[in-house]
Structure 1
Amino acid sequence: MASGSPIDKLVNTEDRERAERELQQLVDAVPQHIVVLSGDGHRLYANQAAREYHGLTLDQFLVEAITNCFHLDDIENYRSMRDSGIASGQPWEAEARLRGKDGRYRWFLIRGKPFRKEGGRVTRWYLTRTDIEERKLAEKELRQLIDVVPQSLCVDDADGTVLYANNQLLNYLGFTLEEAQAVDFRTRIFHPDDLERVLSTGREAMSRGAPWEIEVRIKRKDGQYRWFLIRYNPLCDEQGKIVRWYAAGTD
């Protein structure tokens, strides 16, 4: 029989369809939410865990408005992270609250990874959605706790962006939390002679994922500088990936 004959093509098609069915059954058996997007971001599939969480059939999930699945306050950030990842073809992640079939919202960590065909073109995006509600509640309780600690404390995300600063630090600086979260935060608080040393040391230490410390002068709200010892410690998730940096400053 000649290679490439109609029968060969039929067999190849049947094999491919059988493999796709088996893969779908495997994905549906996974307890973690898995969503498949096309290369340009359109929904193609959601596994059983994701569908059951929302209380939707697959057909309903594929056409459901994003506003019915995501908390309204989280949609803009999710779309921004997703669209940036799709545009660059690089893995991306976002945290968002997803609406369950009971009408309640829970926090999820959503990670998107590209699937490329030969030549490098992205044809699929595979999204995992991990429930982090308990972690978020723990972080809220931690914030309440660190606000009563008589030491300057700061919480950064994995790349060093400030997420939270406790009352002790904000009162010392004379800042609001929004000012502490601004991109020029470190430029405004560190002594000019110490700034580059802090930034370069921090970049090197964070790239290694190891705890680090540094002595630096920090500007008080009255304009005076005082020396602080700042110690940074990482917090890792279940896979060992750093998700937070905790910084404690001692005068």
Structure 2
Amino acid sequence: MTALLVAVTAAGLPGSASADTNNNQAHHPDRWGVIARNTIGSPVAALRKGPYGPFGVTGTAASPPYGQGSLGIEVANNSTTLTPPSEKVDFGNEVDFYGKRLLGLRRVGFHVFQTGENVSYGGPANMPNIRFEIDPDVTSTDDYSTLVWVPNASPVTNGWSPFLDATTTGYWYLTGGETSCNQAAQCTFTQLKASFTAVNARPTIYTAAVGKGRDFMWIGAVDGLRLNDYIYDFEPDGVKVRQVR
């Protein structure tokens, strides 16, 4: 009976009722990095100090929301011979979220360092994403899709944004169109979950990542990735985990 309970509870995301059964696996800092097979061109996704400022900016917008660092991201728009010619990068964890229940996700979002130049490159919606590679569990022959959150425009330009809540802002879609949520029919977080339950699907996660591309040039940073009751704080010396309620 004990083994059965562990097997059942271990299926949730960190921060769910099952968190105590898999903290060591879910919070392994060395398992975060660039996901090579999801990277195109020669983009940058590196842990760094800052950014601070820029000049004249004060208050919470002037420094990373957690610690002293962040995840710096740089992608170009016309740097490859592929179609489209733009770069793509995912920085995430390919191990620790494997098999977790997607519908156990309750809180998700991050903070972004946006610049006016990024807005000029692709408009106010030129922003990084949160991506989950998943098994959608909609049909027996389709075991892969990428679930993407696209944030709204940052309320702060040339500085750090407040927390951007992916459960209440922006939109979600599946790259394979397995449910009613796709790039042509974008969903809220609530609609996304309902689209799975409507077809009796129990999707599970393969990987979790922050990414950018393939679209417009973007140079900025992300910090404070939240997944349920845990915040992943990107610091120059690694990914730190902060538990919140």
Give the TM-score taking structure 1 as reference length.
0.25
- Larger relative CO (CA 8 A, sep 6+): 1 or 2? 2
Q: Which has the larger radius of gyration?
A: 1
Normalised by the length of structure 2, the TM-score is 0.26
Structure richer in helix, relative to its length: 1
